[in-house]
Every structure is written in structure tokens, then in C-alpha cells.
A and B are shown apart, each in its own frame.
Chain A
Amino acid sequence: MTQLWDFAGGIHPPGHKDISTARPIRRSGIPERLILPLQQHIGDPAEPIVEVGERVLKGQKVADIQTGMGVPVHAPTSGIIESIAEHPVPHPSGMADWCITLKPDGEDQWCSRHPLSDFRALGRDRVLEIIRDAGIAGMGGAGFPTSIKLRPPRDRKINTLILNGAECEPYITADDMTMREKAGEIVAGLKVMAWILRPERCVIGIEDNKPEAIAALRRATEGTQTEIAVVPTKYPSGGEKQLIQILTGMEVPSGGIPADIGVMCQNIGTAVAVSQAVFQGTPLIARVVTITGDAIDEPGNFEALIGTPIEYLLEQAGVQQDRLSRLVLGGPMMGYTLTTEAVPVIKTTNCIIAATAAELPAPPPEQPCIRCGLCAEVCPMELLPQQLFWHSKATEFEKAEHLNLFDCIECGACSYVCPSSIPLVQYYRFAKDEIRVQRAEQLKSDRARERFEARQARLEREQEEKELRRRERAKAAAEAQAKKKAEAEKAAADGEAVDERSAKSALVEQALARKKAKAEAAQSPAPAKAAEEQPDIEDLEKQLSNAMSKLETMQGMLEEAKAQQADNVEKLERAVAKNHDRVKRAEEALAEARGKPADRPAESQSTH
């Protein structure tokens, strides 16, 4: 007898399981169209590797994953690729996503398969590759790619491999029926996974409300080391963390994975898929789905091709459209409602409940919380649901996080028992989302701030360098100007040739200054880079400063001439005006090069 532990809290909702266990698993056949979402699990979507109009064979890869975490998608039957477009997919958001639509040709013609009889002859990596190539992702919950899960971090030795057959959610019987009918394949799949992981212990955990499944697996595991652990029926015993606690007495650390404590959980359906991939060479192209609910005439389990529209399955099971009020994908505790029957069965689809209004009635209006604490008593994670509710409602997310909001598994036990019919889980989802958004925004604004600060620092540094260069240039220009002024005074006496001569000497000055500035730039390495970046501005600055010094000289000469009432006043005035224009042009050119309005520093204004 396997030793069992209990987990905190839990509830006992009515099972409603016998609705769908009366009939054996039926094959649903090939629908008119198969819709294959490129992303059927957490991680990255697969990339299509077929063209529209191409004929594909059953089991042929139609989409593969190049990089990132994901698994390929296969054609569930032979046919023509009709389109690759957006189509409604099973997702709580009700959104559409990229899907390959396959129009079956009815021939159901297989591609070549490579069954293995002795997988042990291959290396573990090769077998993991086969599992990956078969497109297997966890068939219980989030659909984590199985080949990645089966390769835990090197330092995490798996001691206990658990096969999760608890199936604690009401209504769902897909695993139950699979265990009854495919016990051999389950054990074969488990054997492959155990060979890969080499655990000390293999346990299949099943709730005690499935006696037939327990008997079938007992028979199939006779003479092996695999333990069959019959666990008391209590929701959510099939939650990964809860089942681990029941079977090992250990808790998965908050924020960690089961491998951290040497445990791994795999789903019943996943074991079957692994077995089929290895021993038959068949990729994951079909799964068992429970079609149940009061609006169904012949409820039961169907082996449906991946991509089968739910509409088609409901029809096969005999749906009473007029009584159907709520379509739930998954169980009544954690499933989500569908907006349309057009969505396809995907690798993680385990149950569809077509419920009547009487069966799953709308909850009564929310009443105030009376802090009765029933929620805390049933919480399997030992949280304080009512405190989390207060804080979520008051948007005090910090406090909610402090009370371990993110450890909530959203099992819904608290909402189930709440006498005030408060949709508690909805509040927690809201709070979690808000916190995630806040975190993302925080990250974004932190990055923006860093960028801004870096830019500021760079601009300041450039400004300082520029200022230094400018001062040196101004000094050189002042010296040159003093020299020139002396010459100009001499020249002024000559009168006539002033203009040409001063213009000539200005040109010479200009060349000298340019040479000097270049030499300076070469001496100081830091500004060199800046100079390289903005050669135009450098040049323009030089031109401007030269033009200005010339203008100043001319003005000086003009004033002198005026004072002496010389004949060349008129000429000089023209020259000043001309130089004035030149300064202005240089300023404009410089401003343009800098890409900002002409707001040249005070020095230019002082000359006016």
C-alpha cells in the first residue's frame, strides 16, 4: 500500500462523471475540414512548412518549430491544404489565431512511419527527438512540450515519476476512459519515460471514484515496480502540486518546478501519445475528448482528430441546440466558456460541456463578503482568499502580492463555496494581470529612463567639448584680429584698395585659423571623434567666426572713416553691409547643419 498524505482544503463538488462513462470511446471520424492552430500550447507557435494547395499525407508535418519552445504540428489525415489564415481558436480570450485549414480527401493515406520495437537500442536523446518530432505536448493542462519537460536541468535528478490519473474535475472522464481502454499503452508510454528519466519510483495516482480504471491499470502493471496509488476523491487532487503532496508529502517550492524536489508529473494522455510515437511511429494527431452535459443526447468520449471543429463533435453526440446555454471547454471548475462552436479540438482539449441553463445556472448577484472564512478552509494552497479579495478589489496589489497572490492556482474552490457568490477567482485574475502589466510598464519606464540619462550625459559631454574648442578658436581669432586691425589701420590711410586688400588678408587669416584648428583637433584625441561626426559644423563655425571678425574690422574702419569724414565712407558702408550678409548666411548655414533654429550665442548679436 502506497503511503498517502493529505493536502489542505479541497471541496467535494458533485462528480457528474457517470454521464459520460456509460459508452466506450467512439471514433469521431473525419470531418469536412480540419483546423490546425499553429500554437496549441504555451511557448512559441510553429511555422507552416506547407503551401496552400499542397497535398499532404496523414501524419505529415505541416508546421515545425525552428527556434524557441514548441512542437511541430502534423496533418491528422491526408488532404489538401486549403488555407493558412486566422481562425477562432480555443482560448479564454475568444480571439482568432493563425491556423492551417486542411480539407481531407477521404483516403486517410498515411505517410511513411518508423515504428520502433526496441527503443532502448537508441540513445535517450534520439528517443526525446522522436517524442519532439511527434509533436507531443502535455495533454492535461498548459501543454508544455513533453520532450523539453523530459529533459530536466542537469542538477535535478528525478526520483519520482508520477502519472496523473486523478482527473478530479467534475464531468471530465477522458483520462478515466483512456485508462480503462488503453491501460497497456499507458504503461508502455510510462516505461519509455521512466527509461529516459531513470526515477527510483513510478506512481500512477488515480482518484478512488474510478474503480474500473484502477482495476485495468492494476492488471497492466502486474509484475512491474509501478505503484498504483488510489487517492481519496477531493477536488483539486489532480492539481500537479496537490497530487505531488498526496503522493510524496513534499511541496513544490513557490516559484519552482516539481523537478526542484525530484518529482515529475505526466498526464495519462501524454503517456499514450509517447507510446504511439515510439512503438507505432504515429505523431500526435488525435486525442480523447469528453463530450458531456445535459444538452447532449448521447454523451461520452470521442477519439477525435486534432483540428476537428467542436461543432462536428457536438453533432455526433447529439446536441440539443435549443437547450444549450453555456459551452465550457474543460471542467466546470477551471474551464472557460467558448463564444463559438467553430473552434477546433487541440492537443490540450480534454472536455466540452454543453450545459443547459438549469445545469450551470448564472451565479446569483454578488453579496458583501462576510469574512466567513470558508474560502480559506477550502484553499488547497493555504492562502487567505478573502484578504486577497479585499486587496484585489481595492487595487492594493502590493498587499495582495505580499499574501502570495501568485501562488494561487485558480482552482476555483473558494468561489465554489463562497456564500456571498463572489467571483473570487476573477478578482485574482484581474489583480494578477494588473500586476503583470505594472511590472511590464515599470520595466519599460526603467529602460526609458536609463536611455534618457545616457543621452543627457552624452549631450553634456559633447557640449563641453564643443565649448572648449570654441574658446580656443575665439582666442586664435582675437589674436589674428588684433594683428589685422593694425594692418588695416595702416591700409585705411591708402583709402582706395582697402576692400580688396582686407578681403585678401581675411582669406589668409581664414586659412591660418583653419590650419590651427586642425592641428588642435589632432592634438586632443577626445574631441576628434566629435569632429569626425560633424565636420560640416566645424567648418561652418570657422567660416562664421572669420566672417564675424572681418565684419568687425570693417565696422571699425567705417567708424574711423566717418569720424574723419573720409571720401570712402560710402564704399565702406557697402562693404559692411556685404559682410553683414555673409555673417548672416554663415549663421543660417550653421544652424541648418545643427538642425535647430538660428539662435546663435550672444557673440553674433554683440557685433550688430
Chain B
Amino acid sequence: MAFVQQSSPHAHSARPTSRVMLWVMIAALPGLFAQTLFFGWGNLINVLFCIGVAIASEAALLRLRKKPIGFFLRDNTAAVTGLLLGLSLPQFAPWWVSAVAVVSAIVVAKQLYGGLGSNPFNPAMVGYALVLVSFPVAMTTNWAAPAMLWEGAPGFGETLATIASGQQTAVDGWTMATPLDEYKHKIASHTATEVLTHPTFGDGIARGWEWVNAAFLAGGLLLIFLRIISWHIPAGFLGGLVLMSLAFGNDADLYAPLSLHVLAGGTMLGAFFIATDPVSAATSHQGKLIYGAGIGILIYLIRTWGNYPDAVAFSVLLMNFAVPFIDHYTPPRTYGHHKPRRGVPGSQG
């Protein structure tokens, strides 16, 4: 009788990559729900479209690379990339902007580097940065004005038609500058009180955005609870951002206040869903903290002194560059050793 021959361990937990990715998508749903509630159907349409394009381009590239298509599509990673782009892009971004972002994310940033697990850069952020640099008009003038779904925001059909029309700018009345954009450009010539009268801020901190961020925070905490992500990257990310804001941005008449940094823009989506992409992040706990903090600090620097109102994509990509360096110098101390063995073989320490 021939018994199964296998190397130990013989038991395995049942949480494959596909399930992990599914949980990431589920955890993003509250955020998507809040986006739809406050900014209309744009994000939902983008999400569905981006996921479709992502899966199609992944399948096409797998075919070109002669890889088993079904085996790799089932890991759900392409869908997650599509989802993240759909959540990040402006609500009324023309379809081709989204398509360019997704295709460059999947084809260039992921598959050309060798597919899942081999990409040094966060694919979604490569796509996002590419379209942000290439199509600045489409990427800044298509943010939906905050309006509750039932308060006269454009309907599903209208939104779909606008996105599908492919025009660089959407209907004027439906769009509005984002809170971070508004604050950044007005604060040079106005006081904080004057700036905050703009309807984009609403009555609270940043109308709609605060809820969207709160929802992504909730989804992110769920991921930590399920041990799908570790707390280190979000903690470093938010810690870096908060510390920078406290250190430099205490004067609201000069710089955006802390509340806006944390609850407007893509902060929570970035901290829990984007920066935590394990493939392009640092590996050890210490490394993850440094990596996250680097992103948080860079976001503050770019938002405050750079040209862009939000900066998750650039910050994540810049820290992706630093990952091998961080990894070299942050290995954990192994059991039974006095100190961690830093650096490369043959080096000191």
C-alpha cells in the first residue's frame, strides 16, 4: 500500500490568499458605502469598472505569460487592486482615466515585474500616480461635491453617463474642490475661519470625508482584529502624520489642522488598505513601523509644502523604494541571540 509521502507539517490552517483578499474587500465595504452615501454613485461605478478592467488585464497578461489563468485569478489580488483604485479615484473621473490607471497597475506595476508577490511597488498606487501626473485636470476637477444621496446628488444614470462620456471635466454643479485642496490653496490669502466657511467643509471637519475616513478606520480595525494585517503599518502611518502635524501645523492660519489631515483625504484608506499591501511593504514589526511612519511623514510634507493636496500615492511609492533598505536594518532579534543581525552577510552588526 502506498501511503502519502509529505514533508511536515501535515496540518494546515484554512485561510488561503484568496480568502485574505476577500476579507480585505469586505472590510472596504463600509468605506464604499459611506462614499456612496455622501458623494453619490461615482465610487461604486468606478469600483465595479476598475475591478472588471483589472481582472481582464490580469487574465490577458497571464495568458501572454503562459501562466494558469484560473489559478491566479482565483487569488483575488487583481480584484483588490481594482477595488482600491475605484475607491481612490475622483467620483467623476472619465472612464479612460480609470482604465489607464488600472491597466498600468496590473500590467506594468504587477505582471511585468513577475506577477503576484514580485512587485516592488504598490500596483494601485503606481496606477494612481501615473494618471495623477498625466491627467492633472481630470484628477482634480472631478471630485463630487458632498451631498447626501437623497438630497439632489446626481442619480446613478447621470453619474454613469458622465463617467462614460469621457469628458475631462464633469458638470460644474456636481463637483467641488476637496477639503485638503481648498484649505491648501486658500490659506495663503485667508484666515482659517474664512477658509472653513466653504461648503466642502460642512458643519464638521470635512463634510462626508470624515465619515468615509471613519468607515475605512472601522474596516481597518476589523482587518487587524482578524489578523489579516498587523497594527504596525497603520500605527506608524498615523503616528507619523499626527506627530508631524503637532510639531509643525499647530497654527491653523498657516497649515491645515490635524483633524483635517486625519479625517479628510485618503488618510484612513491609505493607512489601513493601501500602505498595508504586504508585497511592497517592510517585513519585520520594527520595519513596518518605520515604513508606516515614513509614509505618514512624507504625506504631511507633500500636503503642506509640496504641490499636491493629498499625497498617499507618492508617499507610499517613495517608501516602497526604501523597503529593501529598511528590511536590511530591521531584522528582529532571534531567540537565543543577544542582538539582531543587521545588514548583509559579512557586514558588522
A326/B10 contact (C-beta < 8 A), A365-B71, A371-B283, A419-B20 known = yes
Select which of A336, A371, A419 is within 8 A of B279 by beta carbon. Answer: A371
Q: Is B197 an interface residue (CB 8 A)?
A: no
A337-B118 in contact (CB<8A): no
Residues of B within 8 A of A (CB): 1, 3-13, 15-17, 19-20, 71, 75, 77, 115-118, 227, 230, 278-279, 281, 283-285, 288, 327, 331-337, 341, 344-346
- Contact sample, A vs B, 23 pairs, CB 8 Å cutoff: A11-B13, A14-B11, A170-B11, A252-B335, A327-B3, A333-B11, A337-B3, A338-B3, A353-B10, A357-B4, A360-B10, A360-B11, A370-B116, A373-B288, A384-B283, A384-B284, A404-B334, A407-B335, A415-B9, A417-B13, A419-B15, A420-B117, A423-B7
A376/B283 contact (C-beta < 8 A), A367-B75, A381-B334, A403-B331 known = yes
Q: Which residues of B contact A360 (CB under 8 A)?
A: 4, 10-11
Interface string of A350-372 (1 = CB under 8 A from B): 00010101001011110111111
**Distance (whole angstroms) from the CB of A87 to the closest CB of chain B:** 18
Q: Which of A381-433 contact B (CB under 8 A)?
A: 381-384, 386-387, 398-399, 401-404, 407, 410, 412, 415-421, 423, 425-426, 429
A402 to B347, CA, bound (A): 10
* Majority-rule SS of A interface residues: loop
A404/B6 contact (C-beta < 8 A), A371-B117, A376-B332, A386-B283 known = no
- Nearest residue (CB) in B for A11 is B13
- Nearest residue (CB) in B for A256 is B336
A357 to B341, CA, bound (A): 42
Q: Which residues of B contact A287 (CB under 8 A)?
A: none
Q: Is A328 an interface residue (CB 8 A)?
A: yes
Q: Which of A325-346 contact B (CB under 8 A)?
A: 325-328, 330, 332-339, 341
Q: Which residues of A contact B16 (CB under 8 A)?
A: 364, 367, 419-421
A425-B8 in contact (CB<8A): yes
Q: Which residues of B contact A367 (CB under 8 A)?
A: 16-17, 75, 116
A419-B8 in contact (CB<8A): no
A324 to B3, CA, bound (A): 8
- Nearest residue (CB) in A for B229 is A372
Residues of A within 8 A of B (CB): 7-8, 11, 13-14, 170, 241, 245, 251-256, 321, 324-328, 330, 332-339, 341, 353, 355, 357, 360, 362-365, 367-374, 376-377, 380-384, 386-387, 398-399, 401-404, 407, 410, 412, 415-421, 423, 425-426, 429
Q: Which residues of A contact B334 (CB under 8 A)?
A: 254, 381-383, 404, 407
A376 to B283, CA, bound (A): 8
**Distance (whole angstroms) from the CB of A168 to the closest CB of chain B:** 13
Q: Given A13-B11, A363-B6, A412-B9, 18 other A-B contacts at CB below 8 A?
A: A11-B13, A14-B11, A251-B335, A255-B336, A328-B10, A334-B9, A335-B10, A339-B5, A360-B10, A360-B11, A368-B116, A370-B17, A370-B278, A371-B281, A373-B283, A373-B288, A382-B334, A416-B9
* Majority-rule SS of B interface residues: loop
Q: Which residues of B contact A252 (CB under 8 A)?
A: 335-336
A377-B230 in contact (CB<8A): yes
**Distance (whole angstroms) from the CB of A98 to the closest CB of chain B:** 24
Q: Which residues of B contact A363 (CB under 8 A)?
A: 6, 12
Task: Indicate the member of B7, B16, B71 with the most A CB atoms within 10 Å.
Answer: B7
A253-B336 in contact (CB<8A): yes
Q: Which residues of A contact B288 (CB under 8 A)?
A: 373
Q: Which residues of A contact B279 (CB under 8 A)?
A: 370-371
**Distance (whole angstroms) from the CB of A249 to the closest CB of chain B:** 12
A412-B337 in contact (CB<8A): no
- Nearest residue (CB) in B for A245 is B335
A410/B8 contact (C-beta < 8 A), A372-B20, A384-B332 known = yes
A241-B336 in contact (CB<8A): yes
A296 to B20, CA, bound (A): 35
Q: Which residues of B contact A403 (CB under 8 A)?
A: 331, 341
B3-A339 in contact (CB<8A): yes
Q: Which residues of B contact A11 (CB under 8 A)?
A: 13
A174 to B57, CA, bound (A): 55
Q: Which residues of B contact A8 (CB under 8 A)?
A: 335
- Nearest residue (CB) in B for A334 is B8
Select which of A357, A364, A425 is within 8 A of B7 by beta carbon. Answer: A425
A401-B345 in contact (CB<8A): yes
Q: Which residues of A contact B116 (CB under 8 A)?
A: 367-368, 370
